[in-house]
Structure 1
Amino acid sequence: MGQEDKSDMMSLKARVAQALNAEREKDEGCTTRLSTLRLIDAAIRDRDVCARGRGDSEGCPDADVRNVLDTMIAQRETAAREHDDAGR
């Protein structure tokens, strides 16, 4: 029997953490990918703290993580559009 792809079963938080750890293990210094993963991880951890404050001991679910990612994407698209419009 072949091995199953375990990344499909992992939560988004776990997949981000795994990618972050893999990127840290590379010996390339601070890359854009590493910086981006750190930023995403910090946002997820912030949501986890808020969720635990509300009494959810497991932290934020995948739906909240997806909302965090959608918000971060929208923020960066808006910033890029504003930079383009300003001619920067």
Structure 2
Amino acid sequence: MSLKQRLTEDMKAAMKSGEKTRLGTIRLVNAAIKQREVDERIELDDAAVVAVLDKMVKQRRDSVAQYEAAAREDLAEVERAEIAVIEHYLPAKLDEAAILAAIDAAIARVSAEGGGAIGPADMGKLMGVLKPQLAGQADMGQVSALVKRRLAG
């Protein structure tokens, strides 16, 4: 079952069981997916759906930080509840060791293709290889920091 189908089935189940928070969040996710499909005139696969979900989680984390800074814990709690529902559909997060292993593999791949040493100037190439591979499984900010650290030393 694709991720979009799973979301639709879970939306129906949430309607039947009366889970308003879950239902509202899944509707927001479906709307974001549909909007991207309409804008780009494509049918999203699971990887693209994961990217949409990842973006939604990032937006909500930013909102939580802003609400906490403004002492609006009530609004921050709503965002946290939405994050919990959305993260249910994301793949399990990788630990730092797994991310470093993926970075090492990407470095080997890029250096084999480019035929030379890898330095800080090759960060864009590495991130281009890593982003689709780690989408939804790792925070890309963390990946970027680890790539910089690996390239520096």
User: Normalized against structure 2, the TM-score is what?
Assistant: 0.44
Q: Which runs of 5+ in 1 are unaligned?
A: 1-9
Q: Which runs of 5+ in 2 are unaligned?
A: 73-153
Paired residue for 1:13? Answer: 4
Q: What is the identity, as a one-letter code, of the residue corresponding to 1:45?
A: K
Q: Supply the distance in 2 between the matched residues of 1:47 and 1:15 (Cα, whole angstroms).
A: 18
Paired residue for 2:57? Answer: 73
Give the C-alpha shift of residue 15 in structure 1.
Answer: 0.7
Deviations 1:20-60 (A, max 9, x none): 1111223x3x6111100110111111122234x2xx4xx11
User: Normalized against structure 1, the TM-score is what?
Assistant: 0.73
Q: Supply the distance in 1 between the matched residues of 2:47 and 2:64 (Cα, whole angstroms).
A: 26
Q: Supply the distance in 2 between the matched residues of 1:75 and 1:47 (Cα, whole angstroms).
A: 16
Aligned-pair identity in percent equals: 39
Q: What is the identity, as a one-letter code, of the residue corresponding to 1:18?
A: E
Greater helix fraction, Structure 1 or Structure 2 = 2
Paired residue for 1:33? Answer: 22
What SS does the corresponding residue of 2:44 show, helix, strand or coil? coil
Give the C-alpha shift of residue 67 in structure 1.
Answer: 0.5
Q: Supply the distance in 2 between the matched residues of 1:19 and 1:12 (Cα, whole angstroms).
A: 10
